[in-house]
């Protein structure tokens, strides 16, 4: 409880250094004022049909009457749509005339930018591609970094941030404002942090379960995982085969593989397996699968598979051999033979590992 309360107070401290309300601004039709805003540290707006004297008075009734007259000459589907358009335009204009009340955000060059504004507005000589009808000067300059100095690239931000670029009006109040504030502060979503904690605990437990499998159970698990990747078993798992535990082929790729499965092994076992391999044309690939490698393995012929649970992935998964190469070959064959789409990419371990570890 104390940690949460402290975090909340820190959040509020970061937030109160800027106006607490957010507004997204489009920077003109087709974002034509975007670069001017960033270069001049200004926020430009349109409404060229409204006289500057009327903007200065900032009288709600006068502005509404003027906008209503302007919109009366435009075509709308019905009267209700006209009233909605007038209401939206008036609300946006009133926000623009008091820019100091908000923290302003926009999207430019695939990044989120934010700033604050000084009180009051200034009019321009005429609206053009480089300036609006009136503008506000920045108090806190436009920035594409969080309060912690992290670059606010859209590819690393929540979808609720990037979706704002679809808004067609002049400005709006973002719906997911708390998510955007977390982005500006450089903080993680509590739900995301909880997910990472639970995921890491799950992967740790799953890794321990796989490492405790009986050799025959590990062979069964490997057989299932290769089968889910499109590999078909040629010989039964284990048995009396001296040099490998599993023979399998991939019909779509035209490859045949020999697989050695070990619960625990080191470089000596790997080297011995590779030396005993005779290239008689039966196999195009060798796989050496080990649940608990005793040391770092340096293969010369075999594809080593030792990470049943990938710590860096977003799910417990594994990759069978050179996955990217297989995918390119598989896609080429699918297009040539018009085969159905079958996955030979990441394979989920959860179901199989639970099945064999919880016996």
State how far the Cα of 179 lies from the Cα of 185, in Å rounded to an integer. 10
- Domain match, 153 and 212 both: no
pLDDT digits 0-9 by tens, 157-192: 877 777 776 776 778 888 888 888 888 888 887 887
13 is a domain residue:
no
> Pick from 187, 220, 246: which residue ends a domain?
187
- pLDDT recorded at residue 29: 74
Domain that holds residue 155: 20-187
Q: Compute CA 263 distance to the chain's CA centroid, rounded to the nearest angstrom.
A: 36
- Domain match, 248 and 101 both: no
- pLDDT recorded at residue 6: 36
- Domain match, 255 and 155 both: no
- Domain match, 146 and 253 both: no
7 is a domain residue:
no
8 is a domain residue:
no
pLDDT digits 0-9 by tens, 123-133: 887 888 888 88
Higher per-residue pLDDT: 116 or 220: 116
Non-local (6+) Cβ contacts of 212 within 8 A are 357
CATH of the domain at 261: 3.40.1350
* pLDDT grade for 335, boundaries at 50, 70 and 90: low
| Token pair in block for residue 343 | 């996955």
Helices 2-16/177-185 angle, 10° precision: 90
- Domain match, 103 and 212 both: no
Q: Is the pLDDT of residue 356 over 50?
A: no
- Domain match, 176 and 59 both: yes
- Chain-wide mean pLDDT for the chain? 76
Q: Is the pLDDT of residue 20 over 60?
A: yes
- Domain match, 163 and 215 both: no
197 is a domain residue:
no
**First vs last C-alpha separation in the chain:** 40
- pLDDT recorded at residue 344: 37
> Pick from 187, 217, 233: which residue ends a domain?
187
244 is a domain residue:
yes
- Domain match, 180 and 268 both: no
Q: What is the mean pLDDT of residues 291-314?
A: 73
- Domain match, 289 and 247 both: yes
47 is a domain residue:
yes
Q: What is the mean pLDDT of residues 294-320?
A: 63
Whose CA is closest to 260, among 199, 316, 219, 299? 219
- Domain match, 96 and 135 both: yes
pLDDT digits 0-9 by tens, 45-96: 888 888 888 888 878 888 888 888 888 878 888 888 888 888 888 888 888 8
- pLDDT recorded at residue 241: 56
| Token pair in block for residue 332 | 């080429």
> Pick from 155, 187, 219: which residue ends a domain?
187
- pLDDT recorded at residue 307: 67
10 is a domain residue:
no
- pLDDT recorded at residue 243: 67
- Domain match, 315 and 230 both: yes
- Domain match, 130 and 171 both: yes
Non-local (6+) Cβ contacts of 155 within 8 A are 110
38 is a domain residue:
yes
Percent of all residues in the chain with a pLDDT value above 90, rounded to a whole number: 7
DSSP secondary structure of 225-289: HHHHTT-EEEE-SSTT-SS-SEEEEETTTTEEEEEEEEEEE-HHHHHHHHHH---SSS-SEEEEE
Q: What is the mean pLDDT of residues 259-264?
A: 88
> How many domains in the chain?
2
Q: Is the pLDDT of residue 240 over 70?
A: no
Percent of all residues in the chain with a pLDDT value above 70, rounded to a whole number: 77
């Amino acid at each position: 409880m104390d940690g949460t309360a402290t975090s909340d107070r820190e959040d509020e401290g970061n937030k109160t250094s800027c106006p607490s309300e957010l507004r997204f601004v489009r920077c003109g039709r087709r974002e034509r004022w975007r670069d001017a805003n960033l270069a001049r540290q200004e926020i430009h707006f349109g409404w060229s049909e409204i006289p500057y004297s009327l903007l200065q008075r900032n009288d709600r009734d006068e502005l509404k009457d003027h906008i209503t007259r302007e919109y009366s000459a435009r075509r709308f589907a019905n009267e209700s749509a006209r009233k909605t358009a007038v209401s939206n335009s008036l609300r946006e204009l009133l926000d623009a005339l008091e820019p100091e009340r908000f923290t302003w955000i926009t999207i430019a060059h695939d990044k989120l930018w934010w700033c604050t504004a000084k009180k009051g507005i200034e009019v321009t000589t005429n609206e053009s591609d480089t300036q609006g009808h009136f503008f506000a000067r920045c108090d806190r300059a436009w920035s594409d970094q969080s309060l912690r100095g992290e670059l606010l690239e859209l590819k690393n931000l929540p979808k609720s941030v990037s979706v704002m670029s679809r808004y067609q009006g002049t400005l709006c109040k973002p719906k997911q404002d708390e998510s955007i504030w977390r982005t500006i502060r450089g903080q993680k979503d509590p739900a995301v942090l909880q997910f990472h904690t639970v995921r890491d605990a799950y992967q740790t437990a799953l890794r321990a379960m796989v490492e405790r499998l009986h050799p025959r159970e590990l062979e069964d698990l490997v057989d299932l995982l290769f089968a889910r990747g499109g590999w078909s078993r040629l010989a039964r798992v284990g048995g009396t085969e001296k040099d490998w535990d599993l023979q399998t082929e991939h019909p779509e790729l035209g490859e045949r593989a020999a697989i050695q499965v070990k619960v625990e092994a080191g470089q000596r076992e790997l080297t011995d397996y590779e030396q005993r391999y005779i290239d008689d044309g039966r196999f195009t690939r060798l796989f050496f699968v080990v649940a608990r490698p005793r040391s770092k393995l340096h293969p010369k012929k075999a594809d080593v598979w030792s990470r049943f649970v990938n710590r860096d992935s977003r799910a417990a998964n594994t990759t069978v051999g050179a996955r990217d190469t297989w995918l390119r070959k598989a896609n080429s064959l699918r297009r040539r033979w018009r085969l159905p789409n079958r996955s030979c990419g990441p394979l989920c371990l959860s179901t199989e590992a639970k099945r064999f570890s919880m016996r």
